[in-house]
Amino acid sequence: MNDGPLIVQSDKTLLLEVDHPNAEAARRAIAPFAELERAPEHVHTYRITPLGLWNARAAGHDAEQVVDALITHSRYAVPNALLVDVADTMDRYGRLTLTKEGLTDSPEGTRLVLRTTDRPVLEEVLRYKKIKPLTGERLDDLAVVVHPSERGTLKQELLKVGWPAEDLAGYVDGEAHPIDLDQADWHLRPYQQHAVDGFWHGGSGVVVLPCGAGKTLVGAGAMAAAKATTLILVTNTVSARQWKDELIRRTTLTEDEIGEYSGARKEIRPVTIATYQVLTTKRKGAYAHLDLLDARDWGLIVYDEVHLLPAPIFRMTADLQARRRLGLTATLVREDGREADVFSLIGPKRFDAPWKDIEAQGYIAPADCVEVRVSLPDGQRMAYAVSEPEERYRLASCSDAKLPVIEKLAEQHAGEPTLVIGQYLDQLHEVAERLGAEVITGETTVKERQRLYDAFRVGEITTLVVSKVANFSIDLPEASVAIQISGTFGSRQEEAQRLGRVLRPKGDGRTAHFYTIVSRDTVDADFAAHRQRFLAEQGYAYRIVDADDLI
């Protein structure tokens, strides 16, 4: 028996013993095809999925390498059925290819063709009701014409039926525009450079980096590589402003070259930053701003926070398959389970690094995660017990028993930049009042928000109370303490974002603190358990303390 660090389970999960001397080599060997599912401190769990295997094929790995990686590092014999399955699955990729072919009768015309090396596969996929209409004239036994506008939808449907097409149709270069990184006083970190290279090499795809690891710079790097007009899609206006600031600071782009396309402004410039919201706005049943996608001959489209990409944008994106697409995200986990759509429409995962690795390299701050449990007073317990199920979470998470704890924690970390994050406005206002701090909610104007952020950044104010508007893409470099008082039920994605708020590296290398305050024996604690499982799976061990011990 081989003494490897890896145990291959029959349910296609891989257990990697982290403390094993060969763990690093094994991790490198399996990372291209296995998705890291959980990374707690001792044994990491990877999963082999068809998507992951196809990702690996797309990145140029073959089944033999995968099988070899499994056998070499496995402690026990790898179930043969699994090896056969791996080979079979990987063999399905590339049987179908999408290519662009010149037309003989009209020299400048080209058409998109779905080709196969294996006739039965083509016959099989063409029998699907959803696929047949996406194709046109049958050229011969092995090829069929595809309507260019259906390129994305076709890829999506083919993936669903288990015959992913290799897209060799290439990309349009788009309208050229000079963009360079201005690396006078900074440099891309090595992993950021790897991410840019990985993306550029593959053409399209998703880069997964933890919050605070500098995804914006990966975007900027990709733009500098493309040197073409770029459309950046972000979640909201604040995020759009930050992208703009960051691009002006880090690249040769000037303010005039960058346009903002949002509810307030409709500028179309060589580099245009648009919000998801404006794109999905409907007027009289039609998307009013779809023209933006065709407004210029975009050479690159960047999707920020891919895991939040709304479904309509997916549909729009299906039409943009000829353009290079870069997705940025902290986690491929989508609460709606549409990971496969990300794969087929934006592209395979091109780069991924475990959080802890980047933390170990000092690029993100180490974090101390603590769950503080408060007991509800008897009166509230009674009220909770008799409340309607839909009211329970609100009752439990907004308990005023949490207030002294918040105060105590704020006091302990006095002087350190502290964020108090919550879900319910009443609660936030109450907390703000007790702490004497400002509140930022969805109602706060953009101008006011910017003012507060700036003040926070320079240290004029050390405590901010924020609602879930702060979940995404705000950049608060010096926040080192986050206190979570209520959340969107058990959202793991939200937990990742919130933890990300404090993970940006601190000037003095301080440890970040991440507190979650929950009410004992209620749904609040159940949801917290769900979110903490996510933390633990990301490698952040957490402690549980009693409020009484704290105060």
Partner 1 sequence: MATPSRSLADDIRGRGDAELIDLVLARPDLARPAPADLTSLAARAGTRASVQRAVEALDRGHLQVLEAVVVAGDAAERSVLLHLLGTDDAGTVDAIVQDLWRSALVWRGVDGDHVVRTVPEVLGTAVAGLGAPMRELRPSSPPEHADPDRIRATVAEAPDDSRAMLERMTWGPAFGVLPAAAPGRTTARWLLEHHLLVPVSTDRVALPREVGLVLREGRLHRSTELTPPDIEARPVSLVDAAAGGAASECLTHVDELAAAWGADPPRVLRAGGLSVRDLRVTQMSLDLDPEHTAFVVELAYAAGLVADDGEVVPVWAPTSEIDEWSSSEAGHRWATLAVAWLGSTRAPHLVGRRGTGTGPANALGPDVQWPAIRAIRREVLRELASLEPGSAPDHASLRERLAWRRPNRSAAVLDEAVEAVLRESEWLGVTGRGALSEAGRALVAPLLPLLPAVRGDRATQAGGGNTSNGKRAARGRGDRGSGSGGGITSTEQTPPEAGAVAEGVAAAMSAHLPSPVDHILVQADLTAVAPGPLVGGLGSFMRLAADVESRGGATVYRFTPESVRRALDAGWTAADFTETVRRSSRTPVPQPLEYLVADVARKHGQTRIGGAAAYIRSDDEAVLDTMLASRDLTPLRLRRLAPTVLVSSADPRVLVDLLRDNGFAPVHEGQDGTVVHAETPRRRAGSRRRGPGPMVSPVDRPYTQTLVDGLRAAEATADQRRVEDETRPGPRILAMDPVVTLSLLRDAVADRHGVWIGYSDGHGATSRHLIHPQKVEGGRVRATDESGHEKSFSVHRITGATLES
Site residues for partner 1 per CB under 8 A:
1-2, 7-11, 13, 15, 17, 38, 40-43, 45, 71, 74-81, 371, 521, 532-533, 536-537, 540-544
| Cα–Cα dist 490/391, whole Å | 15
When the beta carbons of 43 and 469 are compared against partner 1, the nearer one is 43
When the beta carbons of 9 and 65 are compared against partner 1, the nearer one is 9
When the beta carbons of 65 and 444 are compared against partner 1, the nearer one is 65
Specify the pairing of strand 271-275 against strand 143-146: unpaired
When the beta carbons of 81 and 184 are compared against partner 1, the nearer one is 81
Q: What are phi and psi of 515, to 5 degrees?
A: -105, 140
- Interhelix angle 215-226/190-202, rounded to 10 degrees, is 50
| Cα–Cα dist 232/221, whole Å | 13
In angstroms, what is the minimal distance from the CB of 212 to partner 1?
21
In angstroms, what is the minimal distance from the CB of 366 to partner 1?
15
| Cα–Cα dist 522/402, whole Å | 14
In angstroms, what is the minimal distance from the CB of 41 to partner 1?
6
Q: How many Å is the Cα radius of gyration of the chain?
A: 25
CA-nearest of 214, 538, 198, 187 to 364 is: 214
Angle at CA 146, nearest 5°, toward 143 and 147?
Answer: 160
Q: Which residues pair with 518 in a beta bridge?
A: 373
CA-nearest of 388, 382, 401, 359 to 511 is: 359
| Cα–Cα dist 396/524, whole Å | 6
When the beta carbons of 9 and 277 are compared against partner 1, the nearer one is 9
Contact (CB, 8 A) for 497 and 211? yes
Angle at CA 272, nearest 5°, toward 271 and 274?
Answer: 155
When the beta carbons of 368 and 407 are compared against partner 1, the nearer one is 368
CA-nearest of 304, 329, 161 to 236 is: 304
- Interhelix angle 80-92/63-73, rounded to 10 degrees, is 160
Q: Which residues pair with 187 in a beta bridge?
A: none
Strands in 96-102's sheet, in edge-to-edge order, are 135-140, 143-146, 110-116, 96-102, 165-167
* Helix/strand/coil for 297: coil
| Cα–Cα dist 12/32, whole Å | 15
When the beta carbons of 11 and 508 are compared against partner 1, the nearer one is 11
When the beta carbons of 85 and 352 are compared against partner 1, the nearer one is 85
In angstroms, what is the minimal distance from the CB of 534 to partner 1?
9
When the beta carbons of 44 and 506 are compared against partner 1, the nearer one is 44
